[in-house]
Amino acid sequence: MHRDELENHLNQLLEISRFHDYCPNGLQVEGRHDIRTLVSGVTASYDLLQAAISAKADAILVHHGYFWRGEDMRITGIKSRRIGLLITHKINLFAYHLPLDVHPQFGNNAVLGKKLGLIETGRFGDQDVAFQGELPHATTLKALGEKISRTLLRKPMMIGDANKTLRQVAWCTGAAQSYFETAIRQGADAFITGEISEQSVHAARESGVAFIAAGHHATERYGVQALGDHLAQKFDIRHQFIDVDNPI
C-alpha cells in the first residue's frame, strides 16, 4: 500500500485533529512510498529501529515517537542517530500518543481493560484519557495484583491493604499518577496506571484507595499491537510487534 493511504487511514481512525497533544501525531519521519511490512513497538528507540531494519520494515508504528513539547529541537546526539537511521534506510515512522490512549477499540486503555476483565463505565481526565469502571466480580487487591502479574508478565507495585475487597476501579496507562486524586473522589476502590510518584503512596494510605503501578511500558504494549493487527488485516500487509524490554 502507499504511505499516504496508510497515513490517511490512521489519522482518520484515531481522530488526531481533536487532540491537543505533547507531540505531533501521524507521520513523523518520511520514508519510502510503498509499505509491505509494518513493525510496531511502544517507543521509537534505537534498539527498536535496528530490530525493524532486521525485519525489513517499510514503516514503524509506535506510541512514543519524537519531537516532544519542551525538548531541545536540535537534531543532535541520540535524536540524530535515531532519525539518521530511519532516513538512511528509508523507513517511515508513524507515532500516535493521546489518540492511541483514548481510542475505544485500539486504545491502550481499552485493550488493557479487556485483558484484565475490567468493565468500562465512563471516562475522566484531560481529553477523557482515563477510564473508570468495575470488576465483573468483587475481588481482593492481592487477587487483582496476581491477575495483573500473570497478564502483563510483570509484578506490579501495590500500595494498599492486600485483603481489601475491590469492585470499582479506575485506570489509565503510562504515567498517569496525577489522575489518582480524581479517581479517589469518584469513588474508585483501586487505581491502575504505569508509574507511581512519591506523593501517591501517602494518598493511597490516607484515602484507603489502592494504587497499582503496573509499569509504563507494560501497560502500553497492547494498543499498538491491536492497531498493527488491524492494519495488517485491512490492507493485507505484514505486521510484527517487537517488544524492546523496559522495566519502567
- In this prediction, residue 222 carries a pLDDT of 98
At 35 the pLDDT is 98
All 3 cell numbers of residue 49? 529501529
Third-level CATH fold of 3-96: 3.40.1390
Domain boundaries, the chain: 3-96, 108-217
Tell me which residues of the chain have a pLDDT lower than 50: none
- Helix or strand run (H / E) with residue 93: strand 92-95
For residues 10 and 93, the answer to whether their CB atoms sit within 8 Å is no
Task: Please give the pLDDT value at position 99.
Answer: 98
Q: What pTM was computed for the model?
A: 0.97
User: What span, in angstroms and rounded, lies between the C-alpha atoms of 1 and 141?
Assistant: 47
pLDDT tens per residue across span 37-94: 999 999 999 999 999 999 999 999 999 999 999 999 999 999 999 999 999 999 999 9
Looking at residue 111, what is its pLDDT? 98
Tell me, yes or no, if the two domains 3-96 and 108-217 fold the same way.
yes
What count of other Cβ atoms lies within 10 Å of the Cβ of residue 173?
31
Q: Domain 108-217 maps to which CATH number in 3.40.190.10, 1.10.150.120, 3.40.1390.30, 3.40.50.970?
A: 3.40.1390.30
Please report the pLDDT score of residue 83 as a whole number. 98
